[in-house]
A and B are shown apart, each in its own frame.
Chain A
Amino acid sequence: MKLYTSLIYRELKLTRKRFLLMLILFLLLSLMMMTPLILVFISKPAKGEESPLEMIPLFVGIVALTGGFMAGTNNGLQKADISSGWKRYSFVLPPTAKQQALSDLLLKLGYILFFGLLSAAFELVYTAAADYNKFGNKLYIYMLNIFLGAVCVVMLVDIAYSYIMMFAKDKNQLKIIGVIAFLGAGVILRVAGIFFNVKTPEQPADGDTLISDETINRFEAVLLSGKTSLCIFAVFAVICTVYFLAMWRSHERREP
């Protein structure tokens, strides 16, 4: 336990600045998403009139999505460890690769829990203030699905990035690998765009809209389903395992 306290203390201290920046951005965005509430108080729409409160699910989704991205994103620890020489030094320290990987995972889970709770708190305040309870728990499921979905996607990118990072042993190699990773990500996105035939603004779907109402409804139904939550939880568990294994491999890999 003392060992993990030490390892996590080090990692927390190193990622503190990045975390604070993300927290500020998140809070700013959350405040911005409160505008419909403020507008309702100012304009007081008449009965039957389209209320800004109709936008609440969208804004809850945006906040959850942002929280998920911030929680799952790379925390820059590996890069900092390579630059400072700590990565090399860690080979001569008693913690094993497995213990270090577990500490990395615990930190990541800590961030996920923190931003998850923050997103949930935002939704709680939002729905309470707007008396927006017609969805009941559905809105929480919706938020959870978006949040964890975003976490999974970003963690996948992080795993790939961390795996590539493993091959860098000093600052110079770090720069080269960073550029390769950036270009590689661009190529992958481009290929994925061709493969999944993503529609560009020049190719509208039905009528003049990019996405049809039917698609939106279907997407909404998926996001509001408890089954989706179970699936995302399963995927999340798998991704956490893969993350742990990638970190383990990264800590275990010796210099050539």
Chain B
Amino acid sequence: MPPKKRILIYAFGNPGRQDDGLGNRLVEELEPWLGECGYDHVELESNYQLNIEDADNIAERDIVVFVDASIEDIEDFHFGLVEPSEGRSEFTMHAASPAFILALCIKLYQKHPETYLLQIRGYEWEFLEELSTKTTQNLASALTFIKERITREDFGQSLSDKQI
């Protein structure tokens, strides 16, 4: 039996800014489940935002799933493949996009992990710790989805209509 693929679920956002912390919450809720299932090939990471050092952090993974809150007009969540992008407009002064991190990883280390972005719809962005009530179902749906993916051997294959 081949070794299991090394998976990194990496959430970014500020949980002190209400729904911006959706990804961070997903990772928190995923942690005990991974322990119960004994899935030690899956690692979790959570940070305020992505930055250049994350190119190094993803380089040795087979699969990376970035998790972020979204203000885009999506139903509950969206899961899609990330293509590397070096576009300047994709990063501001102190943060970078998943596509930029992947591009930097490829250029620096010649490694190209299979990379996805899981976006969860958020609605409120004030100085509060609590997620808005409207996100409860979105978070639950995203959690169910990612758990199901982790249990599959073909993690990114056969994506449904959630794929970009």
Same assembly: no
Which residue numbers of A lie inside 8 Å of B, CB to CB? none
Which residue numbers of B lie inside 8 Å of A, CB to CB? none
